[in-house]
Amino acid sequence: METFTSYLSLSIAVLLILIIKFSFASAKNNNKKLPPSPPSLPIIGHLHLVKRPLHHGLATISVRYGPVLLLRFGSRRVLVVSSRAAAEECFSTDNDVAFANRPRVPSLKLFTNGFTLLPFANYGPLWRNLRRIATGEVLSAHRLTASAASRAEELRGLVKRMFLDWKAQNKSDESSFTKVEMKSRLFDLALNVMMRMIAGRKYTFSQGEGVGGSEAAKRFRMMVEETFLLIDSTSNLGDSLPMLRWFDIGGAEKRMRKLLKEREELSQKIVDEKRRESEEEIKKEQTMIGDLLESQKQDPDFYTDETIEALAFSLLAGGTDTTSNTIEWTMSLLLNNPEALRKAATEIDARVGTDHLVEESDIANLPYLHCIITEALRLYPGGALLIPHESATELTIANYTVPQGTMLLVNAYAIHRDPAVWREPTKFKPERFEAGREEKGWMIPFGMGRRRCPGEGLATREASLALATMIQCFEWKRVGEEEVDMTEGMGLTLPKALPLEALVRPRRNMIDLLSKL
């Protein structure tokens, strides 16, 4: 009883403090032109208006109140931007640094171990050093070129396993199709590509291992998916209403603590395995972790195990889920638009041929494939709301005053489907990007400004090569007469709600080549 009374008294005290705080803030801002805002409720602000998925709910509100609006998620101010012009202003030369920080959200602080993960670190020395290492060790043009062979090898492994699965089920009838589930295959592909660049080893498939990879790989996939679900902007009410953190409604913080422990154990295991290799092996492979362990000998205070582990997980998580989702969305769109799939196959046959698998050097000669991927990223960007930013100072956007400490959500999904910019905005039309018919510059699937995703080059290379290789090697059909379900799932990285399943069979002119892999 005493405990309940204490909690009740403390809750009332916090409530009064919040009311006083908002009263002072409102009085202070009365003389400033703030962005338009819908009517709000006491304490919860506009949380009652927010519908899931969040990017759809915010787009609906923006249609009524305009492309720049100010909401309140409990105690947190949120600026929602849904036009390219306003987004460009947010990340212009004048405002880019002011919006370079990430929100200091309590649950993120917990999960990122004090904001030490690259995507969530505040703008400053730590972020600059982490980005410099990530770019130099993994994502630079030189490193991407050097790692091209490993990506090609992983693609060969993917199509070989698909071919063997088809062959095992169709020993007497080469005209038959086999049903495949692509989500796990594509995630394993992206995970292996990143693991080989970061640690010089595969994580999932060994020769003859079945679909889905090892149990550890399956758990990593679940860990990444749950991570992006939990760090969504409104997934934890305790971030918006601090008093609710005492009760952990929905168990979000408990799940984050569990994920943090698993993440640290996994990252430590990867670093320890690399450390056990000989110095000659480490220098020969030239992987990120190997290079950082060598740097650790010279500067142990900066290159701590914790720093190396955090950077490794940031790249693994960021380089697997978004890339595999992009490939899955794109193939789903092609299955629902077979004429575009046919045109892509014709282009590959004409410009690459069938005597060898598509190589990264061939991609530049496949302009229609490039249009397909660009259109898929327009319709289903890897981050529908990008990663949130936070204003470090008071600034002006679209002639409105944006207070210091305001969270910024850029609705890339709404911008990419703005009918004022795009003709038939919800329709899949790769041709819109041919010969500059529509301006690709209106797209921001990888963000803008100095916090733009540094993995853009790797993601586009990997997605292009994967799609070109799968189209070159196989015929694809929908499982039934109905179109592939395009329902969006929950989470920061815009996954498909239902994993893609399709019917495949090797193209006749590729059977000999696939048999020799």
Tokens of 48: 């009652």
pLDDT of residue 370: 96
* 76: three-class secondary structure by DSSP: strand
Q: Domain check: are 2 and 93 in the same one?
A: no
Range of the domain at 154: 32-515
Q: Domain check: are 182 and 202 in the same one?
A: yes
Q: Domain check: are 103 and 169 in the same one?
A: yes
As a three-state string, the secondary structure of 10-70 is HHHHHHHHHHHHHHHHHHHHCCCCCCCCCCCECCCECHHHCCCCHHHHHHHHHHHHCCEEE
pLDDT of residue 500: 98
Q: Domain check: are 221 and 198 in the same one?
A: yes
pLDDT of residue 507: 96
Tokens of 83: 């036009």
pLDDT of residue 436: 66
Q: Domain check: are 235 and 176 in the same one?
A: yes
Q: Domain check: are 158 and 63 in the same one?
A: yes
Tokens of 414: 């709404």
Q: Name every residue whose Cβ is closer than 8 Å to that of residue 226 and which is 6 or more positions away in sequence.
A: 255, 259
Q: Domain check: are 10 and 103 in the same one?
A: no
Q: Domain check: are 276 and 423 in the same one?
A: yes
Q: Measured between alpha carbons, how far is 294 from 135 in angstroms, rounded to an integer?
A: 17
* pLDDT averages per 10-residue partition of the chain, 517 residues: 46 53 51 91 92 93 96 95 96 94 88 90 94 93 93 96 93 86 94 92 53 65 85 73 77 85 89 85 82 92 92 92 97 99 98 96 97 97 94 96 97 95 94 76 89 95 98 97 95 94 97 94
Q: Domain check: are 105 and 205 in the same one?
A: yes
Q: Is 371 annotated as a binding residue?
A: no
Residue 236: C-alpha distances to residues 80, 244, 256 (Å): 19, 9, 10
pTM of the model: 0.90
Q: Domain check: are 427 and 480 in the same one?
A: yes
Q: Domain check: are 215 and 294 in the same one?
A: yes
Q: Domain check: are 20 and 37 in the same one?
A: no
Residue 260's CATH number:
1.10.630.10
As a three-state string, the secondary structure of 315-371 is HHHHHHHHHHHHHHHHHHHHHHCHHHHHHHHHHHHHHCCCCCCCCHHHHHHCHHHHH
The tally of domains found in the chain comes to 2
Residue 418: C-alpha distances to residues 65, 82, 376, 409, 411 (Å): 15, 9, 15, 16, 11
pLDDT of residue 234: 65
pLDDT of residue 206: 40
pLDDT of residue 67: 97
Q: Measured between alpha carbons, how far is 300 from 45 in angstroms, rounded to an integer?
A: 47
Cα 49 from chain centre? 26
Q: Which of 187, 181, 477, 479 is nearest to 345 (CA)?
A: 477
Q: Measured between alpha carbons, how far is 387 from 407 in angstroms, rounded to an integer?
A: 10
